[in-house]
A and B are shown apart, each in its own frame.
With several copies, the nearest count.
Chain A
């Protein structure tokens, strides 16, 4: 698609959303058998799977920490997840995304409970549509809970951007390509920011306003994450009772 004339018309975005509206979200908890915890997360056109293994032994051993667990995060895009086939394997972008995503989650993990062990988080992007890093963090946060890793809270993430001089929540692919700014955020339910990146063009006031908009988006996502976990938990209880 080439640049559309307008990305917002009469206050409505090309995909029909209002400026502060998230794309549809679909969450499935515990979708993998091998992993200790897992989550399938659809966020608009993004389809991501997160798996958590651990706490488990650290290889190679010199990577162990004596007083806490090491958290490792591998963000990986499937070759077929994007329009132009991506070469398999990590590139510079995925290495940076992995780093900031790990740092977005580390603050809520009780790492000190598991010295000398590893908590491994793997996020696979099966389909990409702007916002893969936030989708991945949302999924990973649930997968950590599903794996029974002790956490202070969940972490929720979404982006705010600017298109046609308007602040909008949760950019889609066209808004990302042709917009003026993109700012992914992750936060805890009590409002602590654990991920913050920005590029593009924002005034000081737009930034402040955008931060508040992102926080509202994260709060909404947090409720969905909680529900998805509750649902799995209650269906298990039911399942247990019905036996």
Chain B
């Protein structure tokens, strides 16, 4: 009970700040929290990255193994993206099969990589129709401080950028880098009482009416979008978010994802 009251007071506090154009942690509406990315943190993975955005902390591991292609794309590699909201990361997460929010996060992370064409799937073919590289992107959320979405997407691309195809381990020639040809970046905005803010903290996320994630590529074009949450958005709001998301993605890419 008292927990709920505290939560209620907290919401009021954030809402009142927002009306004055301020945020809990002193950021401007378009400002991200501090981002740190460390790569190659897991030796057993073919690629890996630890991403922190403020309090949020995820580790992404990329495992790459030979496998069978899908029948309808016999000459293309396979991407499989998983994300679990394990109970270690938040008092509100529960053990068990992934629920709809975890599945949505995984699928939007996946689409960011896939639809941007970041991975050249045709170069992941070993023997057409028989053997291709399976790229497993596993996102392990360790601490939920809000905006897991962007941390997950950043971690996925950072891990891929440092990953190698373990050909020698499977007697398939020499190891090589993963065939990357773009660097998509996801930027997530929330709408709170009509205002738009980037990179929501956990508290901001909890009171937001809706989220919009916009993934854009090196050319500044859109690769994927996902509206999540029950508040509608106007065309103006959407166009505004798209514009700043593309700019912000450029900044993040240039600062953190230089190949």
Contacts and interface: CB of A to CB of B under 8 A. Distances in A.
Interface of A: 32-35, 45, 47, 49, 51, 53, 56, 74, 76, 78-85, 88-89, 92-93, 95-96, 98-100, 103, 106-107, 120, 122, 124, 126-129, 183, 187-188, 191-204, 207-208, 211-212, 215
A205 to B, nearest CB: 10
Interface residues of B, number: 64
Nearest to B57: A32
Nearest to B107: A96
Contact of B138 (A47, A56, A88, A92): A88
Closest 7 CB pairs of A and B: A80-B61, A192-B232, A122-B88, A198-B225, A85-B63, A80-B45, A196-B227
Chain A residues touching B, majority SS: mixed
Interface stretch (B7-15, B97-105, B171-179): B97-105
Interface of B: 41-45, 48, 55, 57, 59, 61-63, 65, 82, 84, 86-91, 95, 97-98, 100-101, 103-104, 106-107, 111, 114-115, 117, 136, 138, 140, 142-145, 212, 217, 220-235, 238-239, 242-243, 246
Contacts of B138: 78-80, 85, 88
Given A78-B59, A96-B107, 17 more contacts: A32-B89, A33-B55, A33-B145, A34-B90, A35-B88, A47-B42, A85-B136, A98-B100, A100-B227, A122-B88, A124-B140, A126-B59, A193-B233, A195-B227, A197-B227, A199-B225, A204-B221
**Interface SS of chain B:** mixed
B235 A202 contact: no
A82 B44 contact: yes
B232 A107 contact: yes
B115 A200 contact: yes
Nearest to A124: B88
A88 B212 CA distance: 28
Contact of A204 (B62, B106, B114, B222): B222
B142 A79 contact: no
B115 A201 contact: yes
Nearest to A78: B140
B135 to A, nearest CB: 10
